[in-house]
Structure 1
Amino acid sequence: MAQHDHHTDDDVRVLDPRSLRGLAHPLRMRLLDALREYGPATASQLAGRLGESSGATSYHLRQLAAYGFVTDDPERGKGRERWWKAAQRRTRVGTDELLRHPDPSVRGAMNTLLHEWATVHGQELSTWLGTLHEWPEQWRESSDMSDFTLRLTPALAREMLEKVHEVIKGYREQEVDRDTEHSARYRVHLHGFPRDED
């Protein structure tokens, strides 16, 4: 079910029960996301970006390293401070298998991961709405906040989601350089789920 996004399929971390437990902590997830989005950084820089203490970011970066999510950045780690970078650009989760896992700690970690992603999505959307007026009209017209209700079977729902993922993948292959005029990081959140009739 869940794919936490970014870049090519050969740079993907597929979560298993052990690595899931290593990642399923709100600060670790935010640290990994920050390294993936903004590039290599020190614990102090990440602490400033995330509003945390450098002691907390240092500890959780070491935990992420122990599980293989982050690694030293040898190109920058010449001074006293240790630089970190994301080891992969994307995370893939076999949600159903992990939600039905016999170990309750694995199921709990999966719930933590999913709820934290949902929280981040909500925060990002709220930030966009709060800063909407600061963006040029062409960006306001190129944003969307829609919802749709359809009556589908599981097979049709899966087919639809796969087609949407293919469309997004096609645009990932057309990504422009950071210095391209009028370009910006563009976030797409995709939520699809069944609802009870009541």
Structure 2
Amino acid sequence: MTDDSPPAPTPSPSVPSAPGPAADVRLDTAALRLLAHPLRINVLTMLRQRGPSTATRVADELGINPGSASYHLRRLALGGLIVEEPGRGTGRERWWRAAHRQSQHDPAGGPPEEREAGRPYAHAVALAGADRLRRAADEIPLLPREWLDVSAYADFVLRLTPERAGRVKAEIFEVFARHRQEAERAEQAERPAEGEVPVAFQFQVFPVPGAVAPSAARPDAGGV
């Protein structure tokens, strides 16, 4: 992810950083309802992509007030999605880190209440992704040439059935999974490549707006 905010905090050399995020977490109904808020998703995404931070730093990064940042951090902590990083900060400044590397949610699986909770969650994910893309767009004029040359802002349209769209999505996910495994092996061997930074690949699959008749099912309000 790229944006026009201050750089992410780096661990103090005198204080060892806590262990990194654990394996992926499968979102249950409670977690889906907790994350049915685009700002909360962006807070969690920032901690996963940029490392541990405080409410003040989160507020500066996302352009919100510190009180709002603190509130959303507390909610994420109560839901078990972030944890306090020990040995850092003071009584008035708490450091938080993501508890997991990535969230997993299968909109086609799970019990009915979980599938319904996935509707407002998916809505929030789309809004949060649009906001991150907007902030990335603001940085395009400032990108170094080597990063601009490999960046992509594309839009492809295919005529597909739901079944074929699912197959295309699965194939693309397999490509990302393979490259993530390669990156993890390099990380475990402590051999990061020179110039390596977090790179976001936004991937969406949805019918062209207006092409599909709306479902009779209405999403929950999902406000939290």
Give the TM-score of the pair, scaled to structure 2: 0.68
Query: Partners of 1:22 and 1:129 in 2: how far apart?
Result: 28
Residue 19 to residue 157, structure 1, CA distance change in 2 (3 Å)? same
For 2:48, the equivalent position in structure 1 comes to 36
Q: Deviations over 1:121-164 (max 9, x none)?
A: 22333333333232233322212222223233333322221111
Partner of 1:136: 144
Query: Aligned with 1:41: secondary structure?
Result: coil
- Corresponding residue to 1:154 among 151, 157, 162: 162
Higher RCO (CA-CA < 8 Å; seq separation 6+): 2
Match of 2:66 in 1: 54
> Which stretches in structure 1 are left out of the alignment for 5+ residues?
1-9
User: Offset at 1:182?
Assistant: 3.4
State yes or no: 1:168 paired with 2:179: no
- Corresponding residue to 2:121 among 113, 121, 125: 113
Pick from 177, 183, 195 the counterpart of residue 182 of structure 1.
195
Map residues 6-45 of structure 1 onto 2, 5 A cutoff: 11-45=23-57
Q: Check conservation: 2:59, 2:65, Cα contact below 8 A.
A: yes
Matched position secondary structure for 1:148: coil
Residue 65 of structure 1: aligned partner:
77
TM-score by length of 1: 0.76
Deviation at 1:68, TM superposition (A): 0.8
**Aligned partners of 2:40, 2:130: CA distance in 1, in Å?**
18
The 5-angstrom pairing of residues 90-129 of structure 1 reads 90-97=102-109, 101=112, 107=116, 109-129=117-137
The number of equivalent residue pairs is 184
User: Does structure 1 conserve the Cα–Cα contact (< 8 Å) formed by 2:38 and 2:127?
Assistant: no
2: CA distance, partners of 1:197 / 1:53? 39
Letter in 1 for 2:112: H
Match of 1:6 in 2: none
Distance 1:197 1:87 in 2: 38
CA distance in 1, matches of 2:77, 2:83: 6
Secondary structure of the structure 1 residue equivalent to 2:182 = coil
Deviations 1:19-69 (A, max 9, x none): 211222233222211211121122222223223333332232222111111
- Higher share in strand: 1
- Aligned-partner Cα distance in 2 for 1:147–1:33: 23
1:15 shift after superposition: 1.2
Percent same amino acid at aligned positions? 33
Residues 25 and 147 (structure 1), Cα distance of their counterparts in 2 relative to 1, 3 Å cut:
closer
Q: Distance in 2 between matches of 1:117 and 1:102?
A: 18
| Aligned partner of residue 71 in structure 1, secondary structure | strand
Distance 1:56 1:87 in 2: 20
Q: 1:46 to 1:150 in 2, by over 3 A?
A: closer
